[in-house]
């Protein structure tokens, strides 16, 4: 683990370091036509400093309607670089955060069901990435996870990704300041070519108002209508956890 953490923290690092590969990247044959590929991976991107009950609950959720496509695998992701935040004195070191993610993965529910507390063996993976934006993360993850798929079964198409995000993260994804001039539209096209966003608010009134205002924006509403952005019910009881 130490070597992988060191690599992902190096300037200029590209790609994904898989500390624990998620199981069931190549699922059993299914009749559902939901995804363009058989594999559908739920990804919670968080630095876990430390992991909370809300993180575990969010990572264990099911893919929301209207489509019936269940997750076939789950992945906890640590980004060594953050578009907004820099490490502060007293923060957990990258190796400590990676260790916390490995421990948290034991509590995440199995891919095909909701609910946490699954215990060891639920099949949740853990990965490290250096990319700060979701567009770059999704590109790197598709490449890395496709390679894992090919090792399990050759000829399988790339996986579909769903990023589980909170309201604050969803707002940042649609903030033009994180993209080159006039580059937001192209970046979102690239992201949604193989990914979905599922937003799960903690249920506070202020956060729900912020979420409603964002989803009403024309440039965001178009993705909602296409089903690329979906909402989960607020995580009641996790407002401060």
Q: What is the pTM of this model?
A: 0.86
Q: Which domain holds residue 60?
A: 2-232
Token pair of 27 as six digits: 């699922």
d(CA 238, CA 233): 12
**Confidence label for 157 from pLDDT (cuts 50, 70 and 90):** confident
Residue 47 lies in a domain: yes
- 3-class SS of residue 238: coil
Q: Where does the pLDDT of residue 182 fall: very low under 50, low under 70, confident under 90, or very high at 90 and above? A: confident
Residue 224 covered by a domain: yes
Give the whole-angstrom CA distance, residue 189 versus residue 54. Answer: 30
pLDDT confidence of 219, banded at 50, 70, 90?
very high
Domain contains 239: no
The 10s digit of each residue's pLDDT in 55-75 is 888 899 999 877 757 888 899
Examine the pLDDT at 217 and tell me if it is beyond 80. yes
Residue 240: inside a domain, yes or no? no
- Residue 18 inside a domain? The answer is yes
pLDDT tens track for 69-124: 788 889 999 888 776 666 677 778 888 888 888 988 988 877 766 655 444 445 79
Q: What is the CATH number of the domain that holds 202?
A: 3.40.50
The pLDDT value recorded for residue 213 is 94
Q: Which residue has the higher pLDDT, 238 or 80?
A: 80
Is residue 185 classed as helix, strand or coil in its secondary structure? Answer: helix
Which three-class secondary structure state does DSSP give residue 54?
helix
């Amino acid at each position: 683990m130490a070597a992988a953490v060191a690599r992902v923290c190096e300037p200029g690092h590209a790609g994904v370091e898989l500390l624990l590969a998620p199981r069931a990247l190549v699922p059993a044959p299914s009749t559902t036509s939901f995804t363009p590929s058989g594999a559908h991976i739920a990804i919670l991107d968080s630095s876990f400093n430390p992991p909370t009950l809300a993180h575990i609950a969010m990572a264990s959720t099911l893919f929301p309607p209207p489509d019936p496509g269940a997750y076939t695998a789950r992945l906890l992701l640590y980004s060594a670089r953050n578009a907004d935040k820099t490490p502060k004195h007293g923060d957990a070191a990258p190796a400590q955060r990676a260790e916390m993610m490995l421990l948290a993965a034991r509590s995440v529910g199995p891919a095909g069901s909701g609910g946490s507390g699954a215990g060891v063996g639920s099949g949740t993976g853990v990965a490290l990435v250096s990319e700060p934006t979701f567009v770059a993360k999704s590109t790197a993850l598709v490449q890395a996870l496709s390679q894992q798929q090919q090792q399990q079964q050759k000829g399988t198409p790339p996986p579909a990704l769903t990023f589980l995000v909170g309201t604050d993260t969803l707002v940042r994804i649609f903030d033009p300041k994180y993209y080159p001039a006039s580059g937001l539209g192209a970046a979102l096209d690239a992201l949604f070519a193989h990914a979905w966003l599922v937003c799960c608010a903690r249920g506070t009134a202020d956060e729900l108002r912020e979420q409603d205002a964002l989803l009403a924006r024309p440039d965001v509403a178009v993705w909602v209508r296409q089903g690329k952005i979906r909402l989960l019910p607020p995580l009641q009881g996790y407002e401060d956890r």
